Amino acid sequence: MRVAPLARPTLAAVLAVAALVGTPRAAAAFCRTTTCRPEKDPENCKKDTNGCSTKGNPLIWPTSCVSFAMDKGLTRFLPPELTIGPLANAFASWQEAICPDGKKPSIAFVMPKEPVSCSEPQANTNGPNVNIVFFRDDFWPYRGIDGTLASTTVTYDTDGTIWDADLAINAASNPLTTSTTNVKYDLESIVLHEVGHFIGLNHSDNGEAVMYSSYSPGSVSRKLQADDLKALCTVYPSTRAATCNPTPRGGQATSCEATSTGSSSGCALSSEPVAAGTTGGPSLFALGSVATLGLGMLLRPRRRHRRAAPSSHR
Ligand SMILES: [Zn+2]
C-alpha cells in the first residue's frame, strides 16, 4: 500500500486495508472541513457533539485526480532519498485505500514532471497554481499550538470546491525522522494526517484515527484507521461522478514566486470565482492510478492532540 519511488508510474496495488466498518461511535467521529469556520465566526459556525461543523458547505476536490508537487529544495535536515518516499507514501496511502465496495476512492494524486520551486502557500486567482508540499527549515510562522508540526492551507470556492492546497512542514522546530527506530517526529505520520486536510477532512475525535488532532512524539502512525477510511470513502466514493483533471486552476505553476498575486497566506482568502485555466502547464504523470475531483478559500494550521502527553499539534 505504500509507494516507494516517486517515479513509478503506477503504485503497487496492494491493499490490505482492513474493513472499514467501525463501531457506530467511530463511524460518526470523522469530520469534514466546511466553508463555515468556527474560529472566524463562532456564533454561527456551530459544532455537533463530535466537534464537526454543522454549517457551511463541506470542502471537496471536484476532480478525481489532484496534482501536488514537492518543493525541489526539500529540507536540509534529511537527505532527499529519505524524504521523497515518506511524502509519496503519505499521499499514496489515501489514494490506494480500499473502500467497503472493494474499490479505491475517487481521488488520486499526480505529480508534475517539471521540478517545482515553491516554499510558500499561495493561491493565485490570476494565473497558474501549484499544490505544493514544502518544508520550513528556518522559521515557522504560525504561533500557538496550531500548526506546530505542519500546516495545510486549503483554498476553496464558496460552494466548498477546493482549488488549491499547500502543505507546510515544520522542520525548523522539530527533529523529523523517517526510520521506525529512534523515532522523534515521524515525517510520514505527520504528512499522512495533513493529506487528510489536503482533501478536505477535519479533525476526528476518534483517538485511533490518523485525523485525530495530535501526534505523540516518538510514535509512528502510517496507516489509515477505520474512521479515516470511513471519511475518505464517504467523501470520495468510487461511484462519485468526477473526471480526472489534475491541472491546477489557471494552469500548472513551476514556481510560486511568479504566481503570488492575489494569494492567501495561510489565512482566509475571499475567493473569487475564476475560470478554470488550462494555460499549458507541464504535463503530469501519475503517481498512481487515477481516480477522481473541486475548490473555495481558506485555510489554516490544523492541530491534533493525542492521548499521552507530551503531544504535539499538527
Ligand atoms: Zn490536523
Give 221's pLDDT tier (boundaries 50, 70, 90). Answer: very high
Q: What is the mean pLDDT of residues 251-256?
A: 93
pTM equals: 0.76
Q: Give the whole-angstrom CA distance, residue 95 versus residue 162.
A: 17
Please measure the distance between the N-terminal and C-terminal CA atoms of the chain and give it in whole angstroms: 24
3-state class of 25 per DSSP? helix
- Domain 1-314: which CATH number of 3.40.390.10, 3.40.50.300, 3.40.50.150, 1.20.1530.20: 3.40.390.10
279 CA → ligand 1 middle, Å: 33
Q: How far is the CA of 42 from the centre of ligand 1 (A)?
A: 19
Residue 153 CA to ligand 1 centre (angstroms): 11
* pLDDT per position as a tens digit, 33-59: 999 987 778 888 988 888 899 899 999
Tens-digit pLDDT profile for residues 259-301: 444 333 332 222 222 222 222 222 233 332 222 122 222 223 3
Q: How many CA atoms lie within 13 A of 30 on its CB side?
A: 26
C-alpha cell at 250: 489557471
Torsion angle of C-alpha atoms 90, 95, 97, 100, degrees rounded to 10: 150
Sequence ranges of the domains in the chain: 1-314
- Three-state SS for 169? strand
Q: What is the CA(224)–ligand 1 centre distance, in A? A: 14
How would you classify the pairing of strands 69-70 and 299-300?
unpaired
Ion ligand 1 neighbours (CB, 5 A) are 302, 304
